[in-house]
Structure 1
């Protein structure tokens, strides 16, 4: 039953990811342009270049903000990752022999047996 639930959750996440793929690409492009606009603004020495880079930055920021639904796609991608990790149900938790709590539990079990 657990695998069926994971399958359904993964299917819903995959559909959500595919539906938000366009806004995710738009968000990425907008953020890259905004990054280069900020770098260009910082390097510009004349006022006209600063105004130009500022205008490019504002337009890129508006484009990035308009693609906020892409965050649902990022969340769906994370859910798909979690479903993939928990599909086998095995946790890779290593217990150290030097851990005092493990040694305490072992000694307590020995005392209970005696």
Structure 2
């Protein structure tokens, strides 16, 4: 039954990931453009280049903000990782509290 739940959660995560793949790619590209615009803005001395890079940076910032729903795709990647990691993990059965008590009592008595 646990594997069925993992398959169900993993399937939903794959669907969310595939539906958010394009916004994730657009977010990455816009953040990359924003990073290079910032680095160029900080390194240039020309006023024209500063204005040009500031305009490019603001446009890239707005493009990045418009792709914020891509975060659902990153959450889906994390969920897939957790499902993959826990796929073959053994579930420990809870012991009877009375047998556990007897075991602890015997250890305390030194038997």
For 1:60-105, what per-residue CA distance to the aligned partner results, in whole angstroms no more than 9, with x for missing partners? Answer: 11111111110000000000000000101149xxxxxxxxxxxxxx
Partner of 1:19: 19
Task: Provide the TM-score with structure 2 as the length reference.
Answer: 0.83
Task: Provide the TM-score with structure 1 as the length reference.
Answer: 0.81
1:111 and 2:108 are equivalent in the alignment:
yes
Q: Partners in 1 of 2:90 and 2:59 — Cα distance?
A: 47
Partner of 2:8: 8
Consecutive unaligned residues of structure 2, counting only runs of 5 or more, are 92-103
CA pair 51-17 structure 1, distance change in 2 beyond 3 A: same
CA pair 109-19 structure 1, distance change in 2 beyond 3 A: farther
Consecutive unaligned residues of structure 1, counting only runs of 5 or more, are 92-106
Q: How many residues align?
A: 100
State the 1:48 CA deviation: 1.1
Q: Partners in 2 of 1:2 and 1:112 — Cα distance?
A: 40
Kindly report the root-mean-square deviation, in angstroms, between the aligned alpha carbons of the 2 structures.
2.0
Q: Partners in 2 of 1:71 and 1:77 — Cα distance?
A: 10
CA pair 47-109 structure 1, distance change in 2 beyond 3 A: farther
